[in-house]
């Protein structure tokens, strides 16, 4: 028991100074030797034309062109389905154009009615003022 108490009083580190080991110099960041090759060899190895990015999701192949993902031909959507969707899209565009035209006509009618209402209110006010002057 005495020895245990003595061991508790004994310092954990004998020396007071802290001196870590020096770290070895770092290796080169890149392990690739492509940067040492001349230009023509790099062009052969890496190629100049990378092409558009392509991915396959759920059996449908997509290609990124001009800022949009486009389905490659030969996908899982049938030609009939594409035609049906194009026809439906055309119908919806026509309906949308018709609704825009109707909104313009209604706004014109509202503007005309509002203007007429203001004119009538002004005439009524003038008639009241004219009637009061006569009295």
pLDDT tens digit sequence for 7-46: 555 555 555 666 778 888 776 666 666 667 777 776 776 7
Which pTM does this prediction carry? 0.41
Q: How many whole angstroms separate alpha carbon 69 and alpha carbon 55?
A: 9
> Which one has a higher pLDDT value, 19 or 74?
19
Query: How far is CA 105 from each of CA 95, 102, 110, rounded to the nearest angstrom?
Result: 15, 5, 9
Q: Closest Cα to residue 73, out of 47, 98, 54?
A: 54
Q: Closest Cα to residue 78, out of 63, 91, 60?
A: 60
Angle at 105 between CA 103 and CA 110, to 5 degrees: 95
How confident is residue 107, by pLDDT bands cut at 50, 70 and 90?
very high
DSSP 29: S
Angle at 92 between CA 86 and CA 96, to 5 degrees: 145
Joined together, the tokens standing for residue 70 give: 């486009």
């Amino acid at each position: 028991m005495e020895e245990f108490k003595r061991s508790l009083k004994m310092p954990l580190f004998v020396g007071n100074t802290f001196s870590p080991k020096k770290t070895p110099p770092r290796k080169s960041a890149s392990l690739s030797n492509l940067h040492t090759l001349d230009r023509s060899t790099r062009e052969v190895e890496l190629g100049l034309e990378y092409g558009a990015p392509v991915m396959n999701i759920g059996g449908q192949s997509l290609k990124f062109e001009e800022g949009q993902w486009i389905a490659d031909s030969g996908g899982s959507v049938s030609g009939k389905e594409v035609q049906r969707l194009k026809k439906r899209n055309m119908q919806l565009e026509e309906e949308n154009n018709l609704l825009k035209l109707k909104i313009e006509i209604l706004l014109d009618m509202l503007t005309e009615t509002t203007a007429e209402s203001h004119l009538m209110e002004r005439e009524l006010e003038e008639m009241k003022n004219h009637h009061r002057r006569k009295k």
